[in-house]
Structure 1
Amino acid sequence: MSDFDIRQDIVSYVALGDSFTEGLDDPYPDGGDAPHGRYRGWADRLAEHLADHAGEVRYANLAVRGKLARQIVEDQVPRAVELHPDLVTLCAGGNDILRPGSDPDLLAGVLEWAVRRISATGAEIVLFTGMDPGFQPVMRHLRGKGATFNMHLRALADEYGCRVVDLWGMRTLRNRGAWSWDRLHLSSEGHRRLALRVCEVLDIPVEDDWNTPWPSEDPKPWRAARQDDLLWARECLVPWIGRRLTGRSSGDGVPPKRPNLEKLR
């Protein structure tokens, strides 16, 4: 690992990825100071935690919704290398795993190229395993592919000295309160908890516990749950399939929300 130290006078941090890192669906209450958008997300929250300890935090978020791993590597990694930050978080591959026919072995090779390039800058790198989709009926069939990718990722982390956030093992994210209505993106509370978990991996002191038990709640009646399923299929699943069939992406024309290292506070 690098000699990353949150107590230094200036800490520079670059976040790379897709919608998960861009911050969907964690909106700022009033639009806030989110350039080119209104989403906060765990990466913004992590930068805020860094600012509680460092003299100054300079933060860039190059993540764009809908991007595949190869697009993240080709479009975002060179910019990250150019910025030469102290800390880089890289979460990629989720959109690839969702696609039929994707190969987790080839996907790992794409990610290795990115890690090798970033590692050469001396930055501290944080990688993320994929989540366990077993708790979501529509995605259970992806568990094997996701688990294979995760093993590759852990091997990469060992080889290059990266820190790892084990999303697969975060059982707290299996609660429906951790997810937005589209079942693909974290809720505001899910993002908050994930930011705390990343702080733990980076040894950043925080007061809250990411694994605090959720309030108990009664399951929805069967009929109401099926109505939710139908609404989700119409509003989320069908448009997603439509984009796949037409070669479009939710990130087409969407710029990174923080393309440059800028002072956070």
Structure 2
Amino acid sequence: MDNDTDLRRFASYVAVGDSFTEGMCDELLPGGQYRGWADRVAAALAAEQAGGEGFRYANLAVRGKLIGQIHAEQIDRAAAMGGELVTLAGGLNDVLRPGCDIEQVEKLLGSCAEALLADGATVVMFTSTDPARRMAGGARLLPTILRMKAYVEGLAKQHPRLLVVDLFSAPCFDDRRLWDEDRLHLSPEGHRRVAAAVLEALGRPAGFDWRAPLPPAAPRGRAEQLRADLHWLRLHLGPWIGRRLTGRSSGDGRPPKRAELLPYEG
């Protein structure tokens, strides 16, 4: 970590990415938007300013976006805003699709990071959680997830202002209670922990141990698990496959969550 990072107070923050950064499946805010870990980080950083004044926040993330779309639609806009802090998450939607061109994903992800770093921002990136430990069929994704993890960590070694939040190595994310019932998006508790992880990477004192396991959950019986699996297949996996087959995305026509770098009012 850069020696100044622990002491730096950020006056502006721009978040870019997909549903992870948009905040899907966190608690709802007035107006119907999800809160999300990025909003939680913004609230904490705004509180560091005198009276919370002067801090500005933008969130350009849109659910369903592939890394090529993030690169084309969000990065130049984010760079032009000149945010002192930028969080960058993307590529997992590509990895989930059959036939993912991982070399192209890495190329675009690296290009995104370079463009954001060029204007002097501190950039925070992420490693994915381990899908093999919590999802049926997740093992097929593991080689690509591990390759992306190594790539992001390699970028951080090249750039002192690029920080990495390592979610892969945190077994707490194996717990289904950190995930929404769709099994793809974080629950409110999951968002709370990612926000704490980002703040820790920025040198803030930890308010709690975000890596700590939750108290033991009551075990599910076979019948209950079967009902949960059938519910997931019908309400989540089926529609997801349908969108893939028809070339649609959950983010089609959806504007960015917070399109301008404006004063934050939590």
For the aligned pair, the TM-score class normalised by the smaller chain equals: over 0.9
1:202 aligns with 2:197: no
Instruction: Name the structure 1 match of 2:261.
Output: 261
Instruction: Name the structure 2 match of 1:51.
Output: 46
Instruction: Name the structure 2 match of 1:131.
Output: 129
Instruction: Name the structure 1 match of 2:216.
Output: 216
Instruction: Name the structure 2 match of 1:150.
Output: 149
How far is the alpha carbon of 1:4 from its aligned partner? 5.2
Gaps of 5+ in 2: none
Instruction: Name the structure 2 match of 1:230.
Output: 230
Instruction: Name the structure 1 match of 2:23.
Output: 23
Does structure 1 retain, via aligned residues, the 8 Å contact 2:57–2:263? yes
Structure 2 counterpart of 1:84, from 82, 85, 103: 82
1:104 aligns with 2:102: yes
How far is the alpha carbon of 1:5 from its aligned partner? 6.8
How far is the alpha carbon of 1:149 from its aligned partner? 1.4
Aligned length: 259
* TM-score, L = length of structure 2: 0.93
Does structure 1 retain, via aligned residues, the 8 Å contact 2:84–2:120? yes
Does structure 1 retain, via aligned residues, the 8 Å contact 2:20–2:63? yes
Instruction: Name the structure 2 match of 1:67.
Output: 65
Report the more deviating stretch, 77-86 or 48-57.
Answer: 48-57
* TM-score, L = length of structure 1: 0.93
Does structure 1 retain, via aligned residues, the 8 Å contact 2:59–2:258? yes
How far is the alpha carbon of 1:27 from its aligned partner? 2.2
| Partner AA of 1:41 in structure 2 | G
SS at match of 1:153: helix
| Partner AA of 2:100 in structure 1 | S
Structure 2: distance between partners of 1:255 and 1:134 = 33
How far is the alpha carbon of 1:139 from its aligned partner? 2.0
| Partner AA of 1:96 in structure 2 | D
Structure 1: distance between partners of 2:210 and 2:151 = 26
For residues 124-179 of structure 1, the C-alpha deviation after alignment (integer angstroms, 9 at most, x for no partner) is: 00011122101211322100111111111111121223100011112111111100
SS at match of 1:76: helix
Report the more deviating stretch, 182-191 or 215-224.
Answer: 215-224
SS at match of 1:137: coil
User: RMSD of the alignment, in Å?
Assistant: 1.6
